[in-house]
Chain A
Amino acid sequence: MSHRETRGVQLFDLLTLGRGPSHPGPRKEATAGRPIEALPPPAEVVLPLVQHLGDPAVPVVKKGELVRRGQKIAEAAGSGVPLHATINGKVKSIDKQAHPTLVQAQAIVLTSVAEAEATELEFPEDPAWRALGSEEMLARIREAGIVGLGGAAFPTFRKLRLPPGVTVDTLIINGAECEPYLTSDYRLMLAEPRAIVEGARLLARIVGVQRILIGVESDKRDAASALEVAAGEIAADGLDLQVRVVPARYPQGAEKQLVTALTGRVIPPRALPYAVHVVVQNVATAAAVHDAVRFRRPLLDRVVTVTGPGVVQPRNVRAPIGTLLADLVRFCGGLTDQATRVISGGPMMGRALPRLDVPLVKGMNGLVLLTGRGPFEEGYGPCIQCGRCLDACPLGLEPNQVSVRVEAGRATESAEFGALECYECGACAYVCPSQRPLVQFLQVAKSALRKQRENLAAVTR
């Protein structure tokens, strides 16, 4: 389905026998049918003090100290969130460790100890959990160390604290999961629909809206049904919760796309969903919010899809935060002989990692092991103006025009073709038959335009 063309044009396209340009398909077969499996507590976890956008947490434990799973081991600082022990263990070290996105960062390393030495903290239900004020709920969400689990890792309490002047009328829960290969959100929706719905209701009360829309892609109708059933079992209590099926087409799960698909509202270029009175949260985040508010339970584990042709037994794994990726891969039968690439997140917007001895962090929803040498093995060719990128771009931008201008050394002339609006979903680069690195061309154009604007501001000041 095209996001921007009129119906008439779509009808005309049927004359081309209904086949548009190629498009990243879901490729979720390997793990879609596999329920979430719990990873046995690993021998060691590495817990970076920064797993979110914001200030690093400050350690409150010392080397050699015994800690219980669930215990806070680093206090929130500034705009950040705290960090908790995800296994029963002993603090082995507090020092620089490999980090999946920051290359290296301070981290607390725990080695596991026998149950006789330390046991997991218990988190009993707070009987008054449905009647809490929004400040108390926000405090519990922050205290639980919750960040956006869909990949962005923005501290959830900050997203829920609306900036002055912002009014919101709709909460959107993102269950689209459009990245190829990934099924962690899908399996979570099937396994814990109740927690997601309850979490969504709590989130709605925090931001003060009645309307909740849960968006699920059409290749996951059973997940949508599970959520609908769960919602039906809970008294409406003044909230209007609807589960909506949206077309399965990458990048349907991008905030801009999902907000438009569900509400018809278009988020202006470079603006946040606040601009159209919407707050968006991921389904896994909603479930974590439920646990945090109801049980004061911190974020200790997350579901991650370990998949791709480079792993022997693809699985959906619930693993403690801080588990080394090598342990995850071993749980999934190890690497195949062909494995050459390690992608953290989904294969479209995720990033390639050089190594497996880095920890699972809060925002990592997938670990995709790929084969082959990657997209630029044979270099790239010239733009042949085939127009496939124009059809692929969900925003109607012109990656072809931007790329040829960047190549010609005229990056600053690419603003009118949308360089600044691009959120780098990669759909254009996927379809390019000349294998052009269009996302990178757009990044170059973006930074050139920003620099030009800064220079201009400096001159006119």
Chain B
Amino acid sequence: MSGTPAPRPPFVVTPGPHLRTSESTAGIMWWVNAALLPTTAWGVWVFGPPALEVILGAVAGAVGAEALANRLMKQRLTVKNGSAVCTGLLLALTLPPLVPWWAALIGGVFAILFGKMIFGGLGYNLFNPAMIGRAFMMASFPVAMTIGWSIPRAWYSRLEAITTATPLGVMREHDLQAALHLIGGPEGWFRLLIGLRPGSIGEVSVVLILLGALVLLARGIIRLYAPLGVFFGLALMTSFSGAAWLHMLSGGVWLAAFFMATDYVTAPVTRPGQLVFGVLIGLLTGLIRMWGGYPEGICFAILIANAMVPALDLWFRPGRVQTAGAPS
């Protein structure tokens, strides 16, 4: 071509669109992990070294199992995308602080292998892997999973952590008065908010869970439909018990509502579907807590609701009909 500079081949030819968002699946997962940090740190602070052991055990189990499965399944190594860390961390945050670390590790391995990889890996699993891991541990280590609770801030004042029961456990075994006594009387709601109560490692501090959730909301990573559904469903179910507020502020509701009911893979994809999914979790949780065999029901509530997701996705589809974009 006369007079034109030699072009610099070869240019890269790829199909469109030629622009992509900078947001990535790994980025989202690591943001979720980061959002869990405040409540994780609080758990370690109030429950001490045993809690840290449980967290490290569960995360190591989950990450190790995923790497192993990647190799066996001849997949690309996927542990760097943060999703195995997320599963291990979420599992640990739902465990009693005095569970042995090796039990948490086994739970993490089970969560990844039987909660996720057996379905084909990230994106294909039907059930929340962390909750699969927890359900497995409740069946395999029933005693440790029932009595492994400790009194917050006990760890630095004494050598041995003091075992205790959770407010929901006490309410189940005795009555509301006993539960109130455990958290320091009717004014105990404040201790529930900041997280000075016995409970699972990452579930106790409502304020810090909310802080992490706000980060995810602000980044557009999660929506409010499922969490609001959970709170609505649980409030509805427990509203006649006289202890609705204790139900709302205790147990794993906040952690589950913002970090498990919002899991992309195991929750419905449309807004109405997410709302119904959340309500379902809330109702089932209340049902199990009041009439079921466990003081806390959110783990099984999530797993049952997970099973409903394919149906919810078919029932609640995006609207195909357009409305006019109003000209200004």
Q: Interface of A with B (CB < 8 Å)?
A: 1, 3-6, 9, 12-13, 15-17, 19-22, 24, 42-44, 111, 180, 215, 218, 244-247, 252, 257, 260-264, 266, 324, 326-327, 330, 334-335, 339-343, 347-357, 368, 370, 373-376, 381-387, 390, 393, 395-398, 400, 418, 426-427, 429-435, 437, 439-440
With A1-B325, A3-B325 given, is the CB distance from A384 to B19 under 8 Å?
no
Residue of chain B at shortest CB distance from A20: B220
| B28 CB to nearest A CB, Å | 6
Q: Across the interface, do A324 and B4 meet the contact criterion of CB distance under 8 Å? A: yes
Q: Across the interface, do A384 and B123 meet the contact criterion of CB distance under 8 Å? A: yes
Choice from A21, A246, A430 contacting B20 with Cβ under 8 Å: A430
Q: Across the interface, do B224 and A16 meet the contact criterion of CB distance under 8 Å? A: yes
Q: Across the interface, do B24 and A435 meet the contact criterion of CB distance under 8 Å? A: yes
Residue of chain A at shortest CB distance from B78: A381
The A-contacting residues of B in range 1-28, CB under 8 angstroms, are 1-5, 7-25, 27-28
Which residues on the B side are within 8 Å of A257 (C-beta)?
A: 325
Q: Across the interface, do A374 and B323 meet the contact criterion of CB distance under 8 Å? A: no
Q: Across the interface, do B321 and A43 meet the contact criterion of CB distance under 8 Å? A: no
Q: Across the interface, do A390 and B328 meet the contact criterion of CB distance under 8 Å? A: no
Q: Across the interface, do B264 and A260 meet the contact criterion of CB distance under 8 Å? A: no
Q: Across the interface, do A357 and B12 meet the contact criterion of CB distance under 8 Å? A: no
Q: Across the interface, do B3 and A355 meet the contact criterion of CB distance under 8 Å? A: no
Which residues on the B side are within 8 Å of A387 (C-beta)?
A: 264, 269-270
Bitwise, B284-316 to A at CB < 8 A (1) or not (0) is: 000000000000000000000000000000000
| A67 CB to nearest B CB, Å | 17
Q: Could you write out 16 A-B pairs with CB less than 8 Å apart?
A: A4-B318, A44-B3, A252-B325, A260-B325, A264-B324, A334-B5, A335-B8, A341-B13, A347-B16, A357-B7, A373-B12, A384-B264, A427-B17, A430-B20, A431-B23, A433-B25
7 closest Cβ pairs, A-B complex: A426-B17, A382-B123, A374-B14, A264-B324, A356-B7, A261-B325, A326-B4
Q: Across the interface, do B21 and A22 meet the contact criterion of CB distance under 8 Å? A: yes
Residue of chain B at shortest CB distance from A400: B269
Which residues on the A side are within 8 Å of B23 (C-beta)?
A: 22, 431, 433
Residue of chain B at shortest CB distance from A258: B325
Which residues on the A side are within 8 Å of B223 (C-beta)?
A: 13, 16
C-alpha spacing A406/B191, complex, angstroms: 52
| B120 CB to nearest A CB, Å | 8
Q: Across the interface, do B327 and A261 meet the contact criterion of CB distance under 8 Å? A: yes
Choice from A3, A4, A352 contacting B18 with Cβ under 8 Å: A352
Q: Is B320 an interface residue (CB 8 A)?
A: yes
Choice from B4, B12, B120, B225 contacting A330 with Cβ under 8 Å: B4
C-alpha spacing A375/B15, complex, angstroms: 8
Which residues on the A side are within 8 Å of B320 (C-beta)?
A: 4, 395-397, 418
Residue of chain A at shortest CB distance from B275: A12
Residue of chain B at shortest CB distance from A434: B25
Q: Across the interface, do B123 and A381 meet the contact criterion of CB distance under 8 Å? A: yes
Q: Is B265 an interface residue (CB 8 A)?
A: yes
Residue of chain A at shortest CB distance from B17: A426
Q: Across the interface, do B123 and A21 meet the contact criterion of CB distance under 8 Å? A: no
| A174 CB to nearest B CB, Å | 14
Q: Is B181 an interface residue (CB 8 A)?
A: no
Q: Across the interface, do A245 and B220 meet the contact criterion of CB distance under 8 Å? A: no
With A261-B325, A382-B121, A386-B269 known, 10 other A-B pairs at CB within 8 A are A22-B23, A22-B220, A245-B327, A348-B19, A355-B9, A375-B14, A375-B18, A384-B122, A430-B21, A439-B17
Residue of B264, B271, B320 with most chain A CB atoms under a 10 A cut-off: B320
| B193 CB to nearest A CB, Å | 21
Q: Across the interface, do A376 and B14 meet the contact criterion of CB distance under 8 Å? A: yes
With A9-B271, A429-B17 given, is the CB distance from A4 to B322 under 8 Å?
yes
Q: Across the interface, do A355 and B7 meet the contact criterion of CB distance under 8 Å? A: yes
C-alpha spacing A127/B14, complex, angstroms: 50
C-alpha spacing A16/B323, complex, angstroms: 23
Q: Across the interface, do A327 and B4 meet the contact criterion of CB distance under 8 Å? A: yes
Q: Is B245 an interface residue (CB 8 A)?
A: no
C-alpha spacing A19/B21, complex, angstroms: 15
Which residues on the A side are within 8 Å of B156 (C-beta)?
A: none
Q: Is B102 an interface residue (CB 8 A)?
A: no
Q: Interface of B with A (CB < 8 Å)?
A: 1-5, 7-25, 27-28, 81, 120-124, 217-220, 222-225, 264-265, 267, 269-271, 317-325, 327-328
Q: Across the interface, do B1 and A368 meet the contact criterion of CB distance under 8 Å? A: no
| B224 CB to nearest A CB, Å | 5
Q: Across the interface, do B18 and A341 meet the contact criterion of CB distance under 8 Å? A: yes
Which residues on the A side are within 8 Å of B17 (C-beta)?
A: 24, 347-349, 375, 426-427, 429-430, 439
Which residues on the A side are within 8 Å of B270 (C-beta)?
A: 387, 390
| A49 CB to nearest B CB, Å | 19
Choice from B15, B19, B124 contacting A347 with Cβ under 8 Å: B19
Which residues on the B side are within 8 Å of A15 (C-beta)?
A: 224
Q: Across the interface, do B319 and A354 meet the contact criterion of CB distance under 8 Å? A: no
With A20-B220, A246-B327, A385-B264 given, is the CB distance from A350 to B20 under 8 Å?
no
Choice from B15, B19, B21 contacting A433 with Cβ under 8 Å: B21
Choice from A44, A395, A398 contacting B2 with Cβ under 8 Å: A44
| A87 CB to nearest B CB, Å | 13
C-alpha spacing A15/B22, complex, angstroms: 24
C-alpha spacing A3/B325, complex, angstroms: 6
Which residues on the A side are within 8 Å of B18 (C-beta)?
A: 341, 343, 347-348, 350, 352, 368, 370, 374-375
Q: Across the interface, do A396 and B321 meet the contact criterion of CB distance under 8 Å? A: yes
Q: Across the interface, do A19 and B264 meet the contact criterion of CB distance under 8 Å? A: no
Which residues on the B side are within 8 Å of A368 (C-beta)?
A: 18
Q: Across the interface, do B11 and A16 meet the contact criterion of CB distance under 8 Å? A: no
Q: Across the interface, do A247 and B325 meet the contact criterion of CB distance under 8 Å? A: yes
Choice from A340, A386, A395 contacting B264 with Cβ under 8 Å: A386
Residue of chain A at shortest CB distance from B225: A12
Which residues on the B side are within 8 Å of A246 (C-beta)?
A: 325, 327-328
Which residues on the B side are within 8 Å of A343 (C-beta)?
A: 16, 18
C-alpha spacing A387/B328, complex, angstroms: 29
C-alpha spacing A44/B1, complex, angstroms: 8
Which residues on the B side are within 8 Å of A340 (C-beta)?
A: 11-12
Residue of chain A at shortest CB distance from B3: A43
Which residues on the A side are within 8 Å of B327 (C-beta)?
A: 215, 244-246, 261-262
| A257 CB to nearest B CB, Å | 7
Q: Across the interface, do A374 and B4 meet the contact criterion of CB distance under 8 Å? A: no
Choice from A245, A335, A354 contacting B13 with Cβ under 8 Å: A354
With A245-B328, A390-B269 given, is the CB distance from A396 to B11 under 8 Å?
no
Q: Across the interface, do B220 and A19 meet the contact criterion of CB distance under 8 Å? A: yes
C-alpha spacing A349/B19, complex, angstroms: 10
With A4-B321, A357-B4, A429-B20 given, is the CB distance from A382 to B122 under 8 Å?
yes
C-alpha spacing A13/B224, complex, angstroms: 8
With A398-B317, A433-B27 given, is the CB distance from A3 to B322 under 8 Å?
yes
Which residues on the B side are within 8 Å of A252 (C-beta)?
A: 325
Q: Across the interface, do A430 and B19 meet the contact criterion of CB distance under 8 Å? A: yes
Residue of chain A at shortest CB distance from B1: A357
C-alpha spacing A330/B6, complex, angstroms: 11
Which residues on the A side are within 8 Å of B81 (C-beta)?
A: 381
| A435 CB to nearest B CB, Å | 6
Choice from A9, A111, A354, A430 contacting B11 with Cβ under 8 Å: A354
